Structure 1
Amino acid sequence: MTAERPRTSVNAWRPSVPGISEVFHAHFTDHAYPVHTHDTWDLMILDDGAVDFALDRRLHAATGTAGVLLLPPGVPHDGRTVTTSGFRKRNLYLDDSVLPQRLVGGAVDSPVLDDELLRHRIHQLHVSLGQSGDEFESECRLSFIRERLHFHLDALRPLAPTGEANRLAGRLRELLDSRIPVGISLHEAAATLHAHPTHLIRCFKQTYGLPPHGYLTGKRIDRARHLLLDGLRPAQVATAVGFHDQAHLNRHFTRHVGTTPGRYRRNLTAPPAQPPPPTVVV
Protein backbone atom coordinates (compact mmCIF):
# COMPACT_ATOMS: atom_id res chain seq x y z
CA MET A 1 0.00 0.00 0.00
CA THR A 2 1.43 3.37 -1.03
CA ALA A 3 1.55 6.04 1.64
CA GLU A 4 -0.47 9.14 0.85
CA ARG A 5 1.70 12.10 -0.07
CA PRO A 6 1.17 15.34 1.84
CA ARG A 7 -0.93 17.89 0.04
CA THR A 8 0.33 21.09 -1.51
CA SER A 9 -0.70 24.20 0.42
CA VAL A 10 -0.31 27.89 -0.40
CA ASN A 11 -1.00 31.05 1.57
CA ALA A 12 -0.32 34.54 0.20
CA TRP A 13 -1.17 38.10 1.21
CA ARG A 14 -0.04 41.71 0.79
CA PRO A 15 0.93 43.28 4.13
CA SER A 16 0.68 46.97 5.01
CA VAL A 17 4.45 47.30 5.33
CA PRO A 18 6.38 49.53 2.90
CA GLY A 19 8.88 47.56 0.83
CA ILE A 20 7.05 44.21 0.95
CA SER A 21 4.83 43.60 -2.07
CA GLU A 22 3.79 40.05 -1.10
CA VAL A 23 4.19 37.36 1.56
CA PHE A 24 4.03 33.78 0.27
CA HIS A 25 4.02 30.57 2.35
CA ALA A 26 3.87 27.20 0.63
CA HIS A 27 4.34 23.46 0.99
CA PHE A 28 5.08 21.83 -2.38
CA THR A 29 5.43 18.09 -2.88
CA ASP A 30 6.04 17.79 -6.61
CA HIS A 31 5.70 21.28 -8.07
CA ALA A 32 8.39 22.46 -10.48
CA TYR A 33 8.66 26.15 -11.35
CA PRO A 34 9.29 26.84 -15.04
CA VAL A 35 11.93 29.39 -15.98
CA HIS A 36 10.54 32.83 -15.12
CA THR A 37 11.49 36.25 -13.73
CA HIS A 38 10.14 38.59 -11.04
CA ASP A 39 9.88 42.36 -10.91
CA THR A 40 10.74 42.12 -7.21
CA TRP A 41 13.45 40.56 -5.07
CA ASP A 42 12.51 37.08 -3.79
CA LEU A 43 13.81 36.45 -0.25
CA MET A 44 13.14 32.85 0.81
CA ILE A 45 13.80 30.58 3.77
CA LEU A 46 13.13 26.84 3.95
CA ASP A 47 11.38 25.31 6.92
CA ASP A 48 11.77 21.74 5.67
CA GLY A 49 13.09 19.79 2.68
CA ALA A 50 15.44 20.76 -0.13
CA VAL A 51 15.27 22.57 -3.47
CA ASP A 52 17.33 22.71 -6.63
CA PHE A 53 17.21 25.77 -8.84
CA ALA A 54 18.98 27.43 -11.73
CA LEU A 55 19.63 31.18 -11.65
CA ASP A 56 20.95 32.79 -14.80
CA ARG A 57 21.63 29.22 -16.11
CA ARG A 58 23.83 28.31 -13.11
CA LEU A 59 22.70 25.46 -10.84
CA HIS A 60 22.32 25.91 -7.09
CA ALA A 61 20.84 23.92 -4.20
CA ALA A 62 19.53 24.64 -0.74
CA THR A 63 18.84 22.13 2.03
CA GLY A 64 17.61 22.38 5.58
CA THR A 65 16.81 25.44 7.63
CA ALA A 66 20.16 27.22 7.90
CA GLY A 67 20.41 29.16 4.66
CA VAL A 68 18.66 32.09 3.00
CA LEU A 69 17.86 32.32 -0.72
CA LEU A 70 17.85 35.69 -2.46
CA LEU A 71 16.71 35.76 -6.09
CA PRO A 72 17.12 39.14 -7.80
CA PRO A 73 14.57 40.84 -10.06
CA GLY A 74 14.74 40.43 -13.80
CA VAL A 75 17.01 37.36 -13.75
CA PRO A 76 15.59 34.07 -15.13
CA HIS A 77 15.35 31.21 -12.65
CA ASP A 78 13.43 27.99 -12.00
CA GLY A 79 13.04 25.65 -9.04
CA ARG A 80 12.01 22.14 -8.06
CA THR A 81 11.70 19.82 -5.08
CA VAL A 82 14.37 17.21 -4.45
CA THR A 83 12.68 14.69 -2.13
CA THR A 84 9.30 12.95 -2.23
CA SER A 85 8.20 14.81 0.89
CA GLY A 86 8.70 18.13 -0.89
CA PHE A 87 9.66 21.33 0.83
CA ARG A 88 8.12 24.06 2.96
CA LYS A 89 9.12 27.64 2.31
CA ARG A 90 8.35 31.22 3.25
CA ASN A 91 8.95 34.02 0.76
CA LEU A 92 9.07 37.79 0.97
CA TYR A 93 8.83 39.71 -2.29
CA LEU A 94 10.70 43.00 -1.77
CA ASP A 95 10.70 46.10 -3.95
CA ASP A 96 13.57 48.41 -4.88
CA SER A 97 13.12 50.54 -1.76
CA VAL A 98 14.63 47.62 0.21
CA LEU A 99 17.35 46.61 -2.26
CA PRO A 100 18.35 48.72 -5.29
CA GLN A 101 18.83 47.27 -8.76
CA ARG A 102 22.59 47.87 -8.61
CA LEU A 103 22.92 44.92 -6.21
CA VAL A 104 21.53 42.38 -8.69
CA GLY A 105 24.98 41.23 -9.80
CA GLY A 106 26.04 40.26 -6.29
CA ALA A 107 22.84 38.24 -5.80
CA VAL A 108 23.37 36.40 -9.09
CA ASP A 109 26.86 35.39 -7.97
CA SER A 110 25.78 34.24 -4.48
CA PRO A 111 22.04 33.56 -4.21
CA VAL A 112 22.37 31.23 -1.19
CA LEU A 113 23.49 33.02 1.98
CA ASP A 114 24.75 30.98 4.93
CA ASP A 115 23.71 33.39 7.67
CA GLU A 116 21.85 32.12 10.75
CA LEU A 117 21.29 35.63 12.12
CA LEU A 118 19.70 36.77 8.86
CA ARG A 119 17.50 33.69 8.76
CA HIS A 120 16.38 34.22 12.34
CA ARG A 121 15.49 37.83 11.59
CA ILE A 122 13.49 36.78 8.54
CA HIS A 123 11.62 34.22 10.65
CA GLN A 124 10.81 36.90 13.23
CA LEU A 125 9.52 39.17 10.48
CA HIS A 126 7.23 36.44 9.14
CA VAL A 127 5.82 35.94 12.63
CA SER A 128 5.03 39.64 13.03
CA LEU A 129 3.59 39.83 9.50
CA GLY A 130 1.13 37.12 10.46
CA GLN A 131 -0.29 39.30 13.26
CA SER A 132 -2.66 42.12 12.29
CA GLY A 133 -1.70 45.44 13.85
CA ASP A 134 2.03 44.77 14.28
CA GLU A 135 3.13 46.75 11.20
CA PHE A 136 5.49 48.99 13.19
CA GLU A 137 7.29 45.94 14.53
CA SER A 138 7.43 44.43 11.04
CA GLU A 139 8.87 47.64 9.65
CA CYS A 140 11.58 47.67 12.31
CA ARG A 141 12.46 44.03 11.64
CA LEU A 142 12.57 44.61 7.88
CA SER A 143 15.01 47.46 8.44
CA PHE A 144 17.53 45.11 10.06
CA ILE A 145 17.05 42.52 7.31
CA ARG A 146 17.71 45.19 4.70
CA GLU A 147 20.90 46.19 6.54
CA ARG A 148 22.08 42.57 6.72
CA LEU A 149 21.44 42.01 3.01
CA HIS A 150 23.40 45.15 2.19
CA PHE A 151 26.22 43.77 4.30
CA HIS A 152 26.32 40.64 2.10
CA LEU A 153 25.84 42.33 -1.26
CA ASP A 154 27.44 45.73 -0.75
CA ALA A 155 29.93 45.16 2.10
CA LEU A 156 28.29 47.97 4.09
CA ARG A 157 28.96 47.88 7.81
CA PRO A 158 26.16 48.96 10.17
CA LEU A 159 26.53 52.28 11.97
CA ALA A 160 27.37 51.88 15.65
CA PRO A 161 25.60 54.12 18.19
CA THR A 162 27.69 57.22 18.94
CA GLY A 163 27.86 59.66 21.83
CA GLU A 164 24.69 61.23 20.47
CA ALA A 165 22.74 57.97 20.95
CA ASN A 166 20.99 59.10 24.15
CA ARG A 167 19.91 62.40 22.63
CA LEU A 168 18.54 60.72 19.49
CA ALA A 169 16.82 58.01 21.55
CA GLY A 170 15.24 60.66 23.76
CA ARG A 171 13.84 62.49 20.75
CA LEU A 172 12.36 59.25 19.42
CA ARG A 173 10.85 58.49 22.83
CA GLU A 174 9.18 61.91 22.89
CA LEU A 175 7.86 61.30 19.40
CA LEU A 176 6.44 57.90 20.37
CA ASP A 177 4.89 59.30 23.54
CA SER A 178 3.10 61.94 21.48
CA ARG A 179 1.72 59.35 19.06
CA ILE A 180 0.62 56.49 21.32
CA PRO A 181 -2.99 56.17 20.06
CA VAL A 182 -2.23 56.79 16.36
CA GLY A 183 1.25 55.29 16.10
CA ILE A 184 3.98 56.17 13.64
CA SER A 185 5.85 54.38 10.90
CA LEU A 186 9.59 53.81 11.13
CA HIS A 187 10.03 55.68 7.84
CA GLU A 188 8.26 58.76 9.22
CA ALA A 189 10.17 58.65 12.50
CA ALA A 190 13.52 58.37 10.71
CA ALA A 191 12.64 61.23 8.36
CA THR A 192 11.44 63.43 11.23
CA LEU A 193 14.62 62.85 13.24
CA HIS A 194 16.96 62.83 10.20
CA ALA A 195 18.41 59.44 11.12
CA HIS A 196 18.94 56.11 9.39
CA PRO A 197 16.19 53.67 10.50
CA THR A 198 18.41 50.93 11.89
CA HIS A 199 20.73 53.44 13.54
CA LEU A 200 17.69 55.00 15.20
CA ILE A 201 16.53 51.62 16.52
CA ARG A 202 20.01 50.75 17.83
CA CYS A 203 20.33 54.07 19.66
CA PHE A 204 16.91 53.59 21.27
CA LYS A 205 17.63 50.02 22.38
CA GLN A 206 21.06 50.97 23.74
CA THR A 207 19.52 53.79 25.77
CA TYR A 208 16.28 52.21 27.00
CA GLY A 209 16.94 48.47 26.77
CA LEU A 210 14.16 47.58 24.32
CA PRO A 211 13.30 48.35 20.68
CA PRO A 212 10.93 51.25 19.90
CA HIS A 213 8.07 48.97 18.85
CA GLY A 214 8.32 47.18 22.20
CA TYR A 215 8.31 50.50 24.03
CA LEU A 216 5.22 51.71 22.16
CA THR A 217 3.36 48.46 22.86
CA GLY A 218 4.21 48.72 26.55
CA LYS A 219 2.90 52.29 26.73
CA ARG A 220 -0.33 51.18 25.09
CA ILE A 221 -0.71 48.34 27.58
CA ASP A 222 -0.25 50.77 30.48
CA ARG A 223 -3.01 52.99 29.11
CA ALA A 224 -5.21 49.96 28.50
CA ARG A 225 -4.91 48.88 32.15
CA HIS A 226 -6.03 52.29 33.38
CA LEU A 227 -9.00 52.40 31.01
CA LEU A 228 -10.08 48.88 31.93
CA LEU A 229 -10.03 49.81 35.61
CA ASP A 230 -12.13 52.87 34.71
CA GLY A 231 -14.80 50.45 33.46
CA LEU A 232 -14.34 50.62 29.68
CA ARG A 233 -14.95 47.44 27.70
CA PRO A 234 -11.95 45.77 26.00
CA ALA A 235 -13.27 46.62 22.53
CA GLN A 236 -13.43 50.30 23.49
CA VAL A 237 -10.00 50.19 25.06
CA ALA A 238 -8.39 48.60 22.01
CA THR A 239 -9.46 51.50 19.80
CA ALA A 240 -8.65 54.15 22.39
CA VAL A 241 -5.02 53.11 22.92
CA GLY A 242 -4.09 52.34 19.32
CA PHE A 243 -4.44 48.58 18.86
CA HIS A 244 -5.79 47.27 15.57
CA ASP A 245 -8.75 45.52 17.19
CA GLN A 246 -9.71 43.63 20.35
CA ALA A 247 -7.83 40.50 19.25
CA HIS A 248 -4.69 42.59 18.83
CA LEU A 249 -5.14 44.02 22.33
CA ASN A 250 -5.82 40.53 23.77
CA ARG A 251 -2.64 39.10 22.30
CA HIS A 252 -0.29 41.76 23.65
CA PHE A 253 -2.15 42.31 26.93
CA THR A 254 -1.98 38.61 27.78
CA ARG A 255 1.73 38.50 26.97
CA HIS A 256 2.46 41.55 29.17
CA VAL A 257 0.02 41.08 32.05
CA GLY A 258 -0.56 37.31 32.12
CA THR A 259 -4.33 37.48 31.70
CA THR A 260 -6.85 38.71 29.15
CA PRO A 261 -8.25 42.26 29.28
CA GLY A 262 -11.72 40.90 30.07
CA ARG A 263 -10.51 38.90 33.07
CA TYR A 264 -8.35 41.77 34.24
CA ARG A 265 -11.39 44.09 34.19
CA ARG A 266 -13.63 41.60 36.00
CA ASN A 267 -11.16 40.53 38.65
CA LEU A 268 -9.84 43.93 39.63
CA THR A 269 -12.97 46.04 39.82
CA ALA A 270 -13.09 45.51 43.59
CA PRO A 271 -10.27 45.07 46.12
CA PRO A 272 -9.70 41.46 47.18
CA ALA A 273 -10.92 40.31 50.58
CA GLN A 274 -8.31 40.81 53.26
CA PRO A 275 -7.38 37.95 55.64
CA PRO A 276 -8.34 38.45 59.28
CA PRO A 277 -5.63 39.88 61.53
CA PRO A 278 -3.58 37.30 63.42
CA THR A 279 -4.67 36.38 66.92
CA VAL A 280 -2.36 37.84 69.54
CA VAL A 281 -1.69 35.50 72.45
CA VAL A 282 -0.95 37.31 75.68
Structure 2
Amino acid sequence: MVVRVRAWHPAVPSLREVYHAGFDHAYPLHTHDDWAVMLVDDGEVVYGLDGGEHRATPAAVTLLPPAVPHDGRSAIEGRGYRKRVLYLERDWLSGSAQSLAVRRPTLHEDSSLVAARRVHAALQKPGDAMAAEHWLLVLRDHVLAHLGSPTPALRDAPLARRLRALIDDRLVEPLTIAAAADELRVHPSHLVRVFSQAYGIAPHRYLVARRVDLARRLLVGGHRPAAAAAMAGFHDQAHLTRHFRRILGVTPSAFTSG
Protein backbone atom coordinates (compact mmCIF):
# COMPACT_ATOMS: atom_id res chain seq x y z
CA MET A 1 0.00 0.00 0.00
CA VAL A 2 1.02 3.64 -0.44
CA VAL A 3 2.72 4.99 2.68
CA ARG A 4 0.87 7.95 4.17
CA VAL A 5 1.92 9.57 7.43
CA ARG A 6 0.77 12.80 9.06
CA ALA A 7 1.51 14.10 12.55
CA TRP A 8 0.80 17.40 14.29
CA HIS A 9 0.47 19.06 17.70
CA PRO A 10 -3.07 20.39 18.19
CA ALA A 11 -3.84 23.16 20.67
CA VAL A 12 -6.00 20.92 22.87
CA PRO A 13 -5.28 20.43 26.60
CA SER A 14 -3.77 17.01 27.48
CA LEU A 15 -3.39 16.10 23.78
CA ARG A 16 0.31 16.12 22.88
CA GLU A 17 0.21 14.75 19.35
CA VAL A 18 -2.05 13.29 16.67
CA TYR A 19 -0.63 10.68 14.31
CA HIS A 20 -2.25 9.26 11.17
CA ALA A 21 -0.52 6.47 9.26
CA GLY A 22 -1.28 4.08 6.46
CA PHE A 23 1.37 1.46 5.71
CA ASP A 24 2.55 -2.11 6.34
CA HIS A 25 5.13 -1.67 9.05
CA ALA A 26 6.19 -4.08 11.80
CA TYR A 27 7.10 -2.15 14.95
CA PRO A 28 9.76 -3.71 17.19
CA LEU A 29 9.37 -3.53 20.96
CA HIS A 30 9.28 0.10 22.05
CA THR A 31 7.64 2.40 24.61
CA HIS A 32 5.94 5.81 24.69
CA ASP A 33 6.10 8.53 27.31
CA ASP A 34 2.39 9.15 26.77
CA TRP A 35 -0.90 7.30 26.69
CA ALA A 36 -1.75 6.22 23.14
CA VAL A 37 -5.36 5.82 22.03
CA MET A 38 -5.52 4.07 18.67
CA LEU A 39 -8.24 3.62 16.09
CA VAL A 40 -7.65 1.17 13.23
CA ASP A 41 -9.65 2.31 10.21
CA ASP A 42 -8.64 -0.44 7.79
CA GLY A 43 -6.98 -3.82 8.27
CA GLU A 44 -6.02 -5.24 11.65
CA VAL A 45 -2.99 -4.94 13.91
CA VAL A 46 -1.69 -7.65 16.23
CA TYR A 47 0.53 -6.44 19.06
CA GLY A 48 2.26 -7.66 22.14
CA LEU A 49 1.83 -5.71 25.37
CA ASP A 50 3.83 -6.66 28.47
CA GLY A 51 4.00 -10.28 27.34
CA GLY A 52 0.36 -10.67 26.23
CA GLU A 53 -0.85 -10.69 22.62
CA HIS A 54 -3.81 -8.56 21.52
CA ARG A 55 -5.53 -7.53 18.31
CA ALA A 56 -6.64 -4.05 17.25
CA THR A 57 -9.52 -3.91 14.76
CA PRO A 58 -11.85 -1.21 13.38
CA ALA A 59 -14.48 -2.39 15.88
CA ALA A 60 -12.54 -1.29 18.97
CA VAL A 61 -10.50 1.43 20.63
CA THR A 62 -7.02 0.36 21.70
CA LEU A 63 -5.42 1.89 24.80
CA LEU A 64 -1.65 1.65 25.20
CA PRO A 65 -0.28 2.85 28.56
CA PRO A 66 2.92 4.88 28.92
CA ALA A 67 6.28 3.20 29.56
CA VAL A 68 5.00 -0.32 28.84
CA PRO A 69 6.87 -2.15 26.03
CA HIS A 70 4.77 -3.15 23.03
CA ASP A 71 5.23 -4.04 19.39
CA GLY A 72 2.85 -4.20 16.42
CA ARG A 73 2.40 -5.59 12.92
CA SER A 74 -0.33 -6.27 10.40
CA ALA A 75 -2.50 -9.20 11.43
CA ILE A 76 -3.24 -9.99 7.77
CA GLU A 77 -0.29 -11.22 5.75
CA GLY A 78 0.37 -9.12 2.67
CA ARG A 79 -2.02 -6.37 3.70
CA GLY A 80 -1.29 -3.04 5.34
CA TYR A 81 -3.39 -1.07 7.77
CA ARG A 82 -4.53 2.49 8.46
CA LYS A 83 -4.58 3.88 11.96
CA ARG A 84 -5.13 7.11 13.86
CA VAL A 85 -3.47 7.68 17.23
CA LEU A 86 -4.00 10.25 19.97
CA TYR A 87 -0.99 10.72 22.25
CA LEU A 88 -2.12 12.02 25.63
CA GLU A 89 -0.12 13.31 28.56
CA ARG A 90 0.80 10.78 31.22
CA ASP A 91 -1.49 12.40 33.82
CA TRP A 92 -4.52 11.99 31.52
CA LEU A 93 -5.19 8.90 33.66
CA SER A 94 -3.95 8.09 37.14
CA GLY A 95 -0.96 5.84 37.79
CA SER A 96 -3.16 2.91 38.85
CA ALA A 97 -4.83 2.93 35.43
CA GLN A 98 -1.57 1.88 33.81
CA SER A 99 -1.51 -1.62 35.30
CA LEU A 100 -5.23 -2.03 34.63
CA ALA A 101 -4.83 -1.01 30.98
CA VAL A 102 -2.08 -3.60 30.47
CA ARG A 103 -4.65 -6.28 31.21
CA ARG A 104 -7.58 -4.64 29.41
CA PRO A 105 -6.30 -2.52 26.50
CA THR A 106 -9.30 -3.06 24.19
CA LEU A 107 -12.55 -1.10 24.43
CA HIS A 108 -15.33 -2.65 22.36
CA GLU A 109 -18.16 -0.37 23.52
CA ASP A 110 -19.80 1.63 20.73
CA SER A 111 -19.84 4.71 22.98
CA SER A 112 -16.04 4.62 23.25
CA LEU A 113 -15.67 4.35 19.48
CA VAL A 114 -18.06 7.24 18.95
CA ALA A 115 -16.18 9.45 21.42
CA ALA A 116 -12.78 8.68 19.87
CA ARG A 117 -14.05 9.29 16.34
CA ARG A 118 -15.61 12.59 17.38
CA VAL A 119 -12.29 13.74 18.80
CA HIS A 120 -10.69 13.14 15.41
CA ALA A 121 -13.61 14.73 13.56
CA ALA A 122 -13.37 17.90 15.67
CA LEU A 123 -9.61 18.07 15.11
CA GLN A 124 -10.19 18.29 11.36
CA LYS A 125 -12.29 21.46 11.71
CA PRO A 126 -10.52 24.74 12.51
CA GLY A 127 -12.08 26.41 15.53
CA ASP A 128 -13.54 23.27 17.10
CA ALA A 129 -10.74 22.60 19.60
CA MET A 130 -13.13 22.78 22.56
CA ALA A 131 -15.29 20.08 20.96
CA ALA A 132 -12.21 17.86 20.68
CA GLU A 133 -11.39 18.62 24.31
CA HIS A 134 -14.95 17.71 25.33
CA TRP A 135 -14.91 14.36 23.54
CA LEU A 136 -11.50 13.54 25.02
CA LEU A 137 -13.03 13.99 28.47
CA VAL A 138 -15.99 11.82 27.50
CA LEU A 139 -13.58 9.18 26.21
CA ARG A 140 -11.65 9.39 29.49
CA ASP A 141 -14.83 8.59 31.42
CA HIS A 142 -15.47 5.57 29.17
CA VAL A 143 -11.90 4.35 29.70
CA LEU A 144 -12.20 4.67 33.48
CA ALA A 145 -15.47 2.73 33.46
CA HIS A 146 -13.88 0.06 31.26
CA LEU A 147 -10.97 -0.26 33.68
CA GLY A 148 -13.31 -0.64 36.63
CA SER A 149 -13.09 2.88 38.04
CA PRO A 150 -16.34 4.57 36.93
CA THR A 151 -16.78 8.22 37.78
CA PRO A 152 -19.71 9.04 40.10
CA ALA A 153 -22.65 10.91 38.58
CA LEU A 154 -22.72 13.73 41.12
CA ARG A 155 -24.98 16.72 40.58
CA ASP A 156 -23.70 20.20 41.35
CA ALA A 157 -26.04 22.91 40.06
CA PRO A 158 -24.09 25.78 41.69
CA LEU A 159 -20.91 24.70 39.89
CA ALA A 160 -22.82 24.42 36.60
CA ARG A 161 -24.14 27.96 37.09
CA ARG A 162 -20.62 29.23 37.77
CA LEU A 163 -19.37 27.71 34.51
CA ARG A 164 -22.31 29.16 32.58
CA ALA A 165 -21.56 32.60 34.02
CA LEU A 166 -17.90 32.24 33.09
CA ILE A 167 -18.78 31.29 29.50
CA ASP A 168 -21.28 34.15 29.25
CA ASP A 169 -18.74 36.66 30.58
CA ARG A 170 -16.02 35.52 28.14
CA LEU A 171 -18.21 34.64 25.20
CA VAL A 172 -15.89 35.85 22.44
CA GLU A 173 -12.59 35.09 24.20
CA PRO A 174 -10.52 31.92 23.66
CA LEU A 175 -11.57 29.42 26.32
CA THR A 176 -10.76 25.82 27.13
CA ILE A 177 -12.52 23.47 29.51
CA ALA A 178 -9.20 22.87 31.23
CA ALA A 179 -8.71 26.59 31.90
CA ALA A 180 -12.26 26.93 33.23
CA ALA A 181 -11.79 23.88 35.43
CA ASP A 182 -8.54 25.28 36.79
CA GLU A 183 -10.22 28.58 37.63
CA LEU A 184 -13.16 26.81 39.28
CA ARG A 185 -10.81 24.33 41.01
CA VAL A 186 -12.41 21.11 39.78
CA HIS A 187 -11.43 18.36 37.35
CA PRO A 188 -12.44 19.08 33.74
CA SER A 189 -14.37 15.80 33.48
CA HIS A 190 -16.46 16.69 36.54
CA LEU A 191 -17.12 20.16 35.15
CA VAL A 192 -18.41 18.74 31.84
CA ARG A 193 -20.62 16.21 33.61
CA VAL A 194 -22.32 18.63 36.02
CA PHE A 195 -22.90 21.25 33.30
CA SER A 196 -24.42 18.67 30.94
CA GLN A 197 -26.63 17.30 33.74
CA ALA A 198 -27.83 20.75 34.76
CA TYR A 199 -28.55 22.20 31.32
CA GLY A 200 -28.91 19.21 29.01
CA ILE A 201 -26.17 20.49 26.72
CA ALA A 202 -22.38 20.14 26.72
CA PRO A 203 -20.34 23.28 27.53
CA HIS A 204 -18.83 23.52 24.06
CA ARG A 205 -22.27 23.26 22.46
CA TYR A 206 -23.60 25.96 24.77
CA LEU A 207 -20.68 28.25 23.88
CA VAL A 208 -21.16 27.75 20.14
CA ALA A 209 -24.92 28.32 20.38
CA ARG A 210 -24.39 31.58 22.28
CA ARG A 211 -21.85 32.72 19.69
CA VAL A 212 -24.22 31.86 16.84
CA ASP A 213 -26.93 33.91 18.52
CA LEU A 214 -24.53 36.85 18.88
CA ALA A 215 -23.51 36.53 15.21
CA ARG A 216 -27.17 36.47 14.19
CA ARG A 217 -27.78 39.75 16.02
CA LEU A 218 -24.69 41.28 14.44
CA LEU A 219 -25.88 40.24 10.98
CA VAL A 220 -29.30 41.77 11.64
CA GLY A 221 -27.47 44.93 12.67
CA GLY A 222 -25.84 45.17 9.27
CA HIS A 223 -22.45 43.51 9.77
CA ARG A 224 -21.11 41.34 6.97
CA PRO A 225 -20.59 37.60 7.73
CA ALA A 226 -16.80 37.81 7.97
CA ALA A 227 -16.98 40.69 10.45
CA ALA A 228 -19.75 39.00 12.44
CA ALA A 229 -17.68 35.81 12.65
CA ALA A 230 -14.69 37.66 14.10
CA MET A 231 -16.78 39.74 16.50
CA ALA A 232 -18.66 36.67 17.77
CA GLY A 233 -15.50 34.69 18.56
CA PHE A 234 -15.43 32.27 15.62
CA HIS A 235 -12.19 31.08 14.03
CA ASP A 236 -13.22 32.44 10.63
CA GLN A 237 -16.27 32.85 8.41
CA ALA A 238 -16.26 29.17 7.43
CA HIS A 239 -16.35 28.21 11.11
CA LEU A 240 -19.35 30.50 11.66
CA THR A 241 -21.10 29.21 8.53
CA ARG A 242 -20.76 25.57 9.58
CA HIS A 243 -22.36 26.12 12.98
CA PHE A 244 -24.84 28.77 11.80
CA ARG A 245 -26.25 26.33 9.25
CA ARG A 246 -26.34 23.49 11.80
CA ILE A 247 -28.28 25.54 14.35
CA LEU A 248 -30.41 27.88 12.23
CA GLY A 249 -30.72 25.90 9.01
CA VAL A 250 -29.35 28.61 6.71
CA THR A 251 -25.98 30.21 5.98
CA PRO A 252 -25.17 33.67 7.36
CA SER A 253 -25.34 35.10 3.82
CA ALA A 254 -28.78 33.59 3.21
CA PHE A 255 -29.94 34.82 6.58
CA THR A 256 -29.01 38.42 5.83
CA SER A 257 -30.55 38.34 2.35
CA GLY A 258 -33.75 36.60 3.40
TM-score normalised over the length of structure 2: 0.91
CA-to-aligned-CA distance 1:30-84 (integer Å, 9 cap, x gap): 2222222211111101222211111223322223x22221112222221111234
1:12-51 superposed matches below 5 A: 12-28=7-23, 30-51=24-45
Contact 1:14 1:21 in 2 (8 A): yes
Note the C-alpha offset of 1:18: 1.3
Which structure 2 residue ranges, 5 or more long, are not aligned?
A: none
Of 117, 129, 153, which aligns to 1:123?
Answer: 117
The answer as to 2:135 corresponding to 1:141 is yes
Distance in 2 of aligned mates of 1:58 and 1:209: 42
TM-score normalised over the length of structure 1: 0.84
Contact 1:159 1:199 in 2 (8 A): no
* Greater C-alpha radius of gyration: 1
Note the C-alpha offset of 1:93: 0.5
CA RMSD in angstroms, aligned pairs only: 1.8
Distance in 2 of aligned mates of 1:103 and 1:210: 29
In structure 2, the residue matched to 1:177 is 168
Of 150, 159, 175, which aligns to 1:157?
Answer: 150
Distance in 2 of aligned mates of 1:159 and 1:247: 39
Contact 1:176 1:183 in 2 (8 A): no
Distance in 1 of aligned mates of 2:95 and 2:149: 16
Distance in 1 of aligned mates of 2:194 and 2:31: 39
CA-to-aligned-CA distance 1:195-251 (integer Å, 9 cap, x gap): 332222222222222111111100100111111122212221111111111221121
| Count of residue pairs brought into register by the alignment | 257
In structure 2, the residue matched to 1:209 is 200
In structure 2, the residue matched to 1:9 is 4
In structure 2, the residue matched to 1:71 is 64
Contact 2:33 2:90 in 1 (8 A): no
Distance in 1 of aligned mates of 2:193 and 2:94: 23
Which structure 1 residue ranges, 5 or more long, are not aligned?
A: 1-5, 269-282
Q: More deviation in 217-226 or 185-194?
A: 185-194
Q: More deviation in 238-247 or 213-222?
A: 238-247
Distance in 1 of aligned mates of 2:31 and 2:38: 15
2:136 is matched by which residue type in structure 1?
L
Contact 1:38 1:73 in 2 (8 A): yes
2:22 is matched by which residue type in structure 1?
H
Contact 1:140 1:213 in 2 (8 A): yes
Distance in 1 of aligned mates of 2:216 and 2:179: 28
In structure 2, the residue matched to 1:228 is 219
The answer as to 2:80 corresponding to 1:82 is no
1:107-118 superposed matches below 5 A: 107-118=101-112
Note the C-alpha offset of 1:26: 2.1
Distance in 1 of aligned mates of 2:50 and 2:190: 35
